[in-house]
A and B are shown apart, each in its own frame.
Chain A
């Protein structure tokens, strides 16, 4: 007669020898592979990298005589650090000891909020970065001499803010493209790296919800 799963379970574990704990090595110093800890680690690495990047940009911008551009890019990057700090603090509040639904739902809500916040940030970050670089270039002495030569050759060219209309238009179009696609670029990036684990997380939450309703 086929045994029930309950009796297989009970009889299988009568001998406690079958439950031998594996050896643990240097546990305290292990790197966690938990999804939430991985994000914590990633946020901390990103923040450190951006802060180092800000320092490097400021020093280089002073060396190359571009203090305003360097400061402008640093302010943009500092905005990303602030977002990361906020996200990390919120992640600290997630409790691995709560029930599984709250734990998974909490992480999922945090993820959605962070993606939305970063999308909004990158909507402005990329176009502002492009504008900063482009304005610095277009009004540099080298660029001015080229633009002056163009204007001299075609004196009837309409100028907008001192730039031939087609250069000014290209500037506006590229800025617009970055404005529209900044959040897409970020989403593509996130999807490439975390797509499969996020999909799995969504499936887990959906299944939990089906069990709740």
Chain B
């Protein structure tokens, strides 16, 4: 990979990739593999960027697509999706960030379905409903309702954890 491309086109937006990859991984190893895979696919797909959307929006799209179809190497099932949610006792590491509240929020996000994780991440990154619908390829009218449901669910999860 051209080092210049990584430094100039990916690294300034690494935050986007990190936030997405954290939501789909359950360990530091997985996270690093995901990050690497997303960078690889951005590099491979760079010629498909037509400039019709912002570079950052395009990065969200590629990152999400890669995370949704990333396969985890496993002895039992070499074709298992890595984003499959795991029982809490199996989660190796959910302490990806220094901020404890963010870690708890991420732990809640990881309990959502893969699609809901994508929706809420885009919402938290302050994308409009229209942008979220465009990135995911869905109906803008349903996004608002879905976000409300996800937020309710997340609040419940966080409150239960806070009270326990």
List residues of A whose CB falls within 8 A of some B CB.
2-3, 5-6, 8-9, 11-13, 15-22, 24-25, 27-28, 30, 32-36, 38, 95-104, 107, 193-194, 196-197, 200-201, 204, 207-208, 211-213
A24-B36, A204-B115 known; A97-B70 Cβ under 8 A: no
CB of B79 closer than 8 Å to a CB of A? yes
Assembled-state Cα–Cα distance A196/B72 (Å): 12
Is the pair B36, A27 in contact by a Cβ cutoff of 8 Å?
yes
Q: Which residues of A contact B68 (CB under 8 A)?
A: 100, 103-104, 204
Is the pair A35, B69 in contact by a Cβ cutoff of 8 Å?
yes
Consensus secondary structure, chain B interface: helix
Is the pair A12, B105 in contact by a Cβ cutoff of 8 Å?
yes
Consensus secondary structure, chain A interface: helix
A35-B70, A35-B71, A197-B80 known; A211-B99 Cβ under 8 A: no
CB of B129 closer than 8 Å to a CB of A? no
Is the pair A5, B154 in contact by a Cβ cutoff of 8 Å?
yes
Is the pair B159, A28 in contact by a Cβ cutoff of 8 Å?
no
Give 9 A-B pairs besides A16-B15, A96-B65 with Cβ atoms closer than 8 angstroms.
A5-B151, A5-B158, A22-B36, A35-B79, A100-B65, A100-B135, A101-B138, A103-B69, A213-B142
Is the pair A100, B98 in contact by a Cβ cutoff of 8 Å?
no
A27-B40, A100-B68 known; A207-B101 Cβ under 8 A: no
Assembled-state Cα–Cα distance A50/B17 (Å): 40
Q: Which residues of A contact B115 (CB under 8 A)?
A: 100, 204, 207-208, 211
Assembled-state Cα–Cα distance A18/B102 (Å): 10
Q: How far is the CB of A48 from chain B (nearest CB, A)?
A: 20
Q: Which residues of A contact B80 (CB under 8 A)?
A: 196-197
A8-B105, A9-B105, A194-B79 known; A102-B137 Cβ under 8 A: yes
Assembled-state Cα–Cα distance A48/B25 (Å): 34
Is the pair B114, A103 in contact by a Cβ cutoff of 8 Å?
no
Q: Which residue of A lies closest to B50 (CB)?
A: A97
